[in-house]
C-alpha cells in the first residue's frame, strides 16, 4: 500500500473524529477527508466557481484588495454565492472543526475560490497562519481546503510537511525552495471528488505543478479558514467588516453568534 493510499484509508469522512485522527491533526498538522462534501453541494458549487472566474468576479475581488481606494468593496463576494455560503457553515465541516479546535469557539476568517488552469504554476512552500506573532501559536487557526473534482495525475498536487506547524517560522521561510521535494513531505495527488484537507494554518505546504507532458484539466479549489477566539486576528481583506456583516445579513450561521463577529479582529493593515 502506498503512503497516499494509507492516508485515504486512515481518514474516513466521519463527523465524529476518531482518537487517531485527532492525534494526527495535533501531531502532524493535517487531516485528509476523502469525498467529504456531499455530491449535490459539489454540483451546485462548480457552476458558481465558473461564474466567479468567467464573469471576472474573482479578478474584481482581487482589485478590491490591491487598490481599495479605487475599487471599494467588490460587487459580489464568494459568500454571497448560495452554495459557497452554504459551504462555509456546512454542518459536518463545522462539527469537524469543533473537535479539532477542542470545542473552543472560533470565528470565520476568509473564503477563496478558484478554477485553476491546467498549466497553473506551482505555489512555493508557505504557511497561512495569519497572526503576526509567529512565536505564539497558542490560538489555533484552521484552513479547510476543498477539492471539488478531487486531485489526480491531471492536476497539480498538494504537498504538506507534517509537523512543521510546530515551528516558529515566518510564512515565507521556505519560499526560496520553490516546490522542490523536502524530506518527510507527504504528496496528496489521488483524492476523489468532494475531498477536503484540513490543515493547521501554520503547516507548511505547497502546490506542486503536474509534469508538462500530462494533458491536465482545471482544478476546482475552494478554501475557507477559521480562527480560535480569544485574541485579535488580522484580517486579510480591507472590506472585512462588510464581509462579516453580509454573512450575518444572509443568516449563514444563526446558531453560532461568534462565527461572524467583528470583535475578534484587529484593524486591517495592508500586506507588503
Tell me the C-alpha to C-alpha distance, in Å, between residue 256 and each of 62, 79, 108, 251, 260. Answer: 29, 16, 11, 10, 8
On the question of pLDDT at 11 being above 50, the answer is no
pLDDT for residue 272? 61
pLDDT for residue 12? 39
pLDDT for residue 269? 87
- Spatial distance between the Cα atoms of 12 and 32, rounded to a whole number of angstroms: 8
**Residue ranges of E strands in the chain:** 30-33, 106-116, 123-126, 141-147, 157-160, 186-188, 195-200, 205-208, 219-228
On the question of pLDDT at 9 being above 60, the answer is no
In the predicted model, what is the mean pLDDT of residues 245-253?
Answer: 97
Residue reference for cell 508538462: 212
In the predicted model, what is the mean pLDDT of residues 14-18?
Answer: 83
**What percent of the chain is modeled with pLDDT above 90?**
85
Tens digits of per-residue pLDDT, 21-45?
Answer: 999 999 999 999 999 999 999 999 9
Helices (H) and strands (E) in the chain, counts: 8, 9
Tell me the C-alpha to C-alpha distance, in Å, between residue 211 and each of 25, 59, 208, 220. Answer: 30, 27, 9, 18
Amino acid at each position: 500500500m502506498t503512503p497516499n493510499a494509507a492516508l485515504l484509508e486512515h481518514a474516513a469522512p466521519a463527523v465524529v473524529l476518531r482518537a487517531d485522527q485527532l492525534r494526527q491533526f495535533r501531531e502532524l498538522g493535517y487531516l485528509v477527508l476523502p469525498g467529504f462534501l456531499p455530491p449535490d453541494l459539489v454540483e451546485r458549487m462548480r457552476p458558481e466557481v465558473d461564474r466567479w472566474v468567467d464573469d471576472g468576479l474573482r479578478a474584481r475581488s482581487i482589485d478590491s484588495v490591491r487598490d481599495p481606494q479605487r475599487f471599494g468593496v467588490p460587487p459580489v463576494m464568494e459568500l454571497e454565492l448560495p452554495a459557497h455560503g452554504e459551504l462555509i457553515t456546512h454542518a459536518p465541516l463545522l462539527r469537524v472543526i469543533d473537535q479539532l479546535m477542542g470545542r473552543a469557539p472560533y470565528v470565520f476568517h476568509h473564503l477563496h475560490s478558484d478554477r485553476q488552469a491546467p498549466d497553473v504554476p506551482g505555489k512555493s512552500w508557505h504557511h497561512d497562519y495569519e497572526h503576526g506573532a509567529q512565536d505564539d501559536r497558542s490560538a489555533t487557526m484552521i484552513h479547510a481546503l476543498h477539492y471539488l473534482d478531487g486531485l489526480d495525475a491531471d492536476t497539480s498536487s498538494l504537498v504538506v510537511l507534517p509537523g512543521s506547524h510546530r515551528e516558529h517560522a515566518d510564512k515565507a521561510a521556505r519560499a526560496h525552495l520553490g516546490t522542490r521535494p523536502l524530506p518527510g513531505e507527504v504528496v496528496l495527488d489521488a483524492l476523489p471528488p468532494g475531498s477536503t484537507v484540513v490543515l493547521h494554518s501554520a503547516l507548511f505546504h505547497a502546490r506542486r505543478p503536474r509534469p508538462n507532458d500530462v494533458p491536465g484539466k482545471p482544478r476546482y479549489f475552494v478554501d475557507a479558514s477559521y480562527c480560535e477566539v480569544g485574541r485579535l486576528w488580522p484580517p486579510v481583506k480591507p472590506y472585512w467588516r462588510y464581509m462579516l456583516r453580509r454573512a450575518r445579513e444572509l443568516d449563514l450561521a444563526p446558531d453560532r453568534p461568534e462565527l461572524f463577529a467583528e470583535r475578534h479582529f484587529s484593524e486591517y493593515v495592508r500586506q507588503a
